[in-house]
Structure 1
Amino acid sequence: MAFLRELLVFICAATATVLAAPAIPATCPIVTLDRGMFIGTTTDGVNRFLGIPFAQPPVGDLRFRLPQAPGPYSGTHNTTAFGLSCTQQATTLAIPNGLPQETVDLLTSGSGATIIDGEDCLVLNVVAPSQAGRGSRLPVVVWIYGGSFEFGSSTLYGFFIFRFLGKYKEMHSYDGGVIVRRSIALEEPVIYVSMNYRLSAFGFLASQEVKDAKVGNLGLWDQRLALRWVQKYIHAFGGDPSKVTIWGESAGAVSVSLQMLASGGNTEGLFRAAFMQSGSPTPIGDITHGQKYYDDLVERTGCSGSSGTLACLRAAPYEKLKATIDSSKFRSGQLTNPESLTIAWQPRADGVFLADNPQKLIQRGKVARIPFVTGVCDDEGTIFALSASNLTIEADLRNYLTEFFLPNATDAELDELLTLYPQDVTQGSPYDTGIQNAFTPQFKRLASILGDFGFQVPRRFFLNNLSKKQNTWSFLSKRLKSLPVLGSFHGSDNLNIYGGGDLTDYLIHFATNLDPNGGLSLQWPQYTAWSRQLMTLVDGQVTNRTITLDRYRIEGMDLLTNLSLAYPL
């Protein structure tokens, strides 16, 4: 084995010399897992091992089944390039007319990124300090990407450039090297892991048939298996399996919170802390609530006449199945689609991974008792409100809310909601921008409702129920507030954390010490039911952080909390 390792290093160095390829370093890091050798790359003091399979390919008869762990590794594996991304649901980016150019630039900044997807996608990536090795026992941060559970990937890498207020800014994608290099500079080195998980119908098929077969929430099971892989193998890269922090944004943050609810709140030793950006347990109902989406898929795939619809879907040609999903009328996550926040394929209570509506599980205390950080952006709803730019009068808004979010709400409940979220544009989102950014007559009002319903309310509900029992911290990002129409939009905090900003430092400190405080001058107080203090990130030349109170829009959010509990999606 030692001879083979030396030979591989020699070949790797020779190849780099002959090809003169800067992407292939002169010395390749090699890690042994079981009897397999994994060859990575080293750049700027960081080792990368990409595309490591953590499950058997979910193809053929394994499609729409729980992920299966691979057998012991053997042989030699080149892990110098990302694997396939999981199958993406097709999306379109039709920008509404009339948006300022700065906003258009932001929305289209990543539109040129190429994602190569397919079913054989259950792989993960490890990024570690090049000095780390067996025995280093470094803390581990495990990233779970977002994308409405319908698109997204751990393979996004590098950065995009966009124009904002006449200047060009870099927007880093999911480059774990940013996190690891910053951790080295802080003298608190960590290891970064990111994994793929199945998306859309491939990962979140929902119906009575799915419930009976116990194959719901497959994407969450994929994440769980990846966490088991970390427990088994991360020591080989220099990581400490007892010091794992799970971390995500948007659907990734929702995933983190649902991992905290799995198995009745039993972490099974897979992680010790959680860090969430713009995502908390959402008001989702039983998995049978997805029946209409399942029936539509079965019918249009030609499986409605079969005795076993799941078996038929497993046997369907991949290209046909994907085309059927892509052509469905039930598509979300698109700027011109009114259903942009009513997600067809998403986690639901299946009686196995999630025993009940997540918010009811929280009320019953069925949640992991671990320290966590959870935060939101100030204007979470603006991007999603662009999809309803045709709403011009209150009657339009009322019909929209009834059709897509609150079909069972009473007239009195809708009246109260619209009273608490008035048409006065000075109270809408982007907040604190006065009469500006009223893109359409109902835009700022709808953005306020959607941002609170989808993000602010679940975050506050989570904290209200848990901050008395465990250590919690919360943040509010008000940065980029001057971006026209969108303000501090959903996902804007990713520009901070993957750009090496103060959120990067907070994440590293938290993963290392279970406390986000460290070298930064302003102390971040814990969130409690009595203090409700938020670390608020603002734009400023001198002061760009301040402490504020989580007491805004209390009546409106209390009503939305009650409505979400009464009428889960």
Structure 2
Amino acid sequence: MRCNILILAATLVGLVRAATLVSIPNVTATTIVVLPAGTVVGSTSDGVEYYRGIPYAQPPTGSLRLKPPIRLENFGLVQATGVAPACPQTTAMDITPLLLDVVALPGVEQTLLFGSTLGDETEDCLTISVMRPQGTAADAQLPVLFWIYGGGFEMGSPQMYNGSVLIPQSVAQGKPIIFVAVNYRLGAFGFLGGSEVLADGASNLGLLDQRMGLEWVADNIEAFGGDPGAVTMWGESAGSISVFNQLALFDGNNTYKDRSLFRGAIMNSGSIIPTEPVNGVKAQGIFNTVIEAAGYSAKLKCLRDVDYDTFLNASNSVPTYLSYNSLAFSYAPRPDGRILTACPAVLAKTGKYAAVPMIIGNQENEGTVFALFQSNITTESALVSYLNDVFFHNATRDEIAGLVATYPNNPDSPAGIGASNDTYPEFKRLAAILGDWGFTFMSRLLLDTFPAMVPAWSYQATYGSETPVLGTYHASDLPHIYYETDDVSASIQDLYISFVDSLDPNNYAASTPSGYLTFWPTWQEKKQLLELGAHHTRLIHDDARAASFEYIRAHLETLRL
């Protein structure tokens, strides 16, 4: 049983389109597109054309394992009509009694909590998928939405997200778009750290995979009728953190062949994540554990030489984000002096990122799902020890105690989670700290650094506030975006499609009943958020838990993973 509360189980993703209708011997698909590297055969269904699993890099196997991606120059003929493979997953998790109690509660979407549709897992997984409206002309120059999936940098796949729902919605709006989803390496395959990794130039490989996917779009999307100058990146959770990393890669240099790779960004539940260097104590400890589990005492080369199953099992030998360690990620993007030149919080503060128009926001109760695994933390002292030992090794105990002291130990923290839920004594305070440090406050910190002349819009979702224990929990936006058809779903889709089309979310033709959506001013105007409620939207000030925010901002040097 696999808990996917953060990456959400879903049906197979569809993915986009071709230019010309021709017949190919022994091929049943009805559409093809010819690219410089080869011919892609796709399929059509319900007004959408799909091209799933187009290889964009050489297989990262054998001597290319744990190496930066190498562009695939020639792939011949690709049958892109099936389900693209997922990259190797980190699947272990901690099934606690509290977790089992929570998933049995009414209002918690069971199908989204357990199980997933990932497709086959394989190390040869560097593919990209495209989806567009049926009949799009080759010269249509449609804007492009580039999706980066989440999953704690340990699991996930484009197949989990039904991106095809956005295509007919965009057509109905008169703003047709192309949807692209990229596969990137996870776990030790994509985010292994350590001094040997740094010396070898093998750090942050998953980010380099994503960047090569963006370059692939720049080189190929015109053949699908897309505009390479109108790309908006979009991600959720680890995918959203990845979006900021793409903004900050190479100190904000997002040019490729003298042209910007993207013009806008959408970040759902993730932005800055303060991390120690790729050769720091935490990352080195993970490397040591992985290489020992693979049967060696040292040498990165050994991990390239072992068979796939051995390396996969070794990758899974460390704690996952669905465990007691929670957001203290074993695998994550880390500063390496080249790809990420500094801690993301420092890059944001110093303006070393590509500031493009963006939408950024969070769920009201981001931390609740990450606080389900620590039910032995029943005292304030134990909470301080947990944060000091598992998360913030470089902070003193007094610094952690000072952080905890800014959070009242009451049953209404975080907001929206009532007193009637039967959880452990420190659950709500830990949930508030994790949600703030990992998500809400990081968005506010990024917005504080954003240039006044570049528009940014921010939101907070509260539509699930009645959900027992969890509230409007992390990743509860994904079913609204990809699978449900309520007012919330239609409104988010309207806002996002408008932004992809014009870089302004307010240029929508609302498909929801009148009165739901409120005009959304930029964050810079009055530091306001658009609150997405179950039955209405309204504007609220972005000033929740101000004392805790200022404390974390003042201690970012030590509050790093």
After TM superposition, the score normalised by the length of structure 1 is 0.88
Pairing 1:242–2:221 present: no
Q: How does 1:31-46 map to 2 (within 5 A)?
A: 31-34=33-36, 36-46=38-48
State the alpha-carbon separation in 2 of the partners of residues 458 and 316 from structure 1.
39
* Structure 1 equivalent of residue 11 of structure 2: none
Q: Please give the alpha-carbon distance, in whole angstroms, between the structure 2 residues aligned to 1:185 and 1:262.
A: 36
Amino acid across the alignment from 2:200: A
* Structure 1 position 7 matched with structure 2 position 23: yes
Aligned pairs, number: 521
How far apart, CA to CA, are the structure 1 residues paired with 2:453 and 2:22? Answer: 52
SS for the counterpart of 1:7 is coil
Specify whether residues 551 and 77 from structure 1 end up closer, same or farther in structure 2 by C-alpha distance, changes over 3 A only: same
- Measure the CA separation in 2 of the matches of 1:29 and 1:188: 23
Specify the code of the residue in structure 2 equivalent to 1:371: P
Which amino acid is the alignment partner of residue 388 of structure 1? Answer: Q
AA of the residue aligned to 2:240:
A
**CA distance change for structure 1 residues 568 and 195 in 2, over 3 Å: closer, same or farther?**
same
2:169 paired residue number: 182
Q: Aligned to 1:344, what secondary structure does the other structure show?
A: coil
1:162 match: none
- Residue 563 of structure 1: aligned partner: 555
Q: Distance in 2 between matches of 1:256 and 1:473?
A: 16
Is 1:527 the equivalent of 2:531? Answer: no
Q: What corresponds to 2:7 in structure 1?
A: none
Q: Which residue of 2 aligns with 1:554?
A: 546
Match of 1:163 in 2: none
CA deviations on 1:242-283 (whole Å, 9 max, x unpaired) are: 000000000000000000001211211111110000011111
CA distance 1:104–1:206, shift in 2 (3 Å): farther
Offset at residue 30 of structure 1 (A): 1.1
Corresponding residue for 1:160? none
Q: Out of 112, 116, 133, which is 1:113 matched to? A: 116
Q: Is the 8 A contact 1:103 1:485 kept in 2?
A: no
SS at match of 1:248: strand
Shift of 1:401: 1.3
Q: 1:7, CA displacement in angstroms? A: 3.4
Q: Cα gap change, 1:95/1:45 in structure 2, threshold over 3 Å: closer, same or farther?
A: farther
Q: 1:137 aligns to what?
A: 141
Q: Deviations over 1:520-564 (max 9, x none)?
A: 452110001x61111110122xxx111111011011111122223
Q: 2:196 aligns with which of 191, 209, 225?
A: 209
Residues of 2 paired with 1:238 and 1:104: CA distance? 42
For residues 566 and 389 of structure 1, the distance between their equivalents in structure 2, rounded to whole angstroms, comes to 26
Q: Report SS of the residue matched to 1:424.
A: coil
Distance across 2 between alignment mates of 1:476 and 1:465:
19
CA-based RMSD of the aligned residues comes to: 1.9
TM-aligned CA deviation for residue 409 of structure 1: 2.7
Measured in 1, the distance between the counterparts of 2:474 and 2:106 equals 13
Alignment of 1:281-430 (within 5 A): 281-289=272-280, 290-304=283-297, 309-326=299-316, 328=317, 330-334=318-322, 337-426=323-412, 428-429=413-414
2:522 alignment partner AA:
Q
Residue in 2 that maps onto 1:221:
208
In the alignment, which residue of structure 2 is the partner of 1:436? Answer: 420
User: What is the alpha-carbon distance in structure 1 between the residues aligned to residue 127 and residue 319 of structure 2?
Assistant: 26
Match of 1:30, SS?
strand
Residue 514 of structure 1 pairs with residue 503 of structure 2: yes
CA deviation profile, 1:46-83 (whole Å, cap 9, x unmatched): 00000100101000000000000001343x32110122
In structure 1, stretches of 5+ residues that fail to align are 16-23, 157-173
Q: CA offset at residue 438 of structure 1?
A: 4.9
Q: Deviations over 1:83-140 (max 9, x none)?
A: 2100001223625344372369525535233432110000011010012131000000
The one-letter amino acid paired with 1:295 is N
1:102 — aligned with what? 105
CA contact (8 A) 1:437 1:444 kept: no
Structure number with larger C-alpha Rg: 1
- Amino acid paired to 2:121: D
> Deviation of residue 300 (structure 1)?
2.4
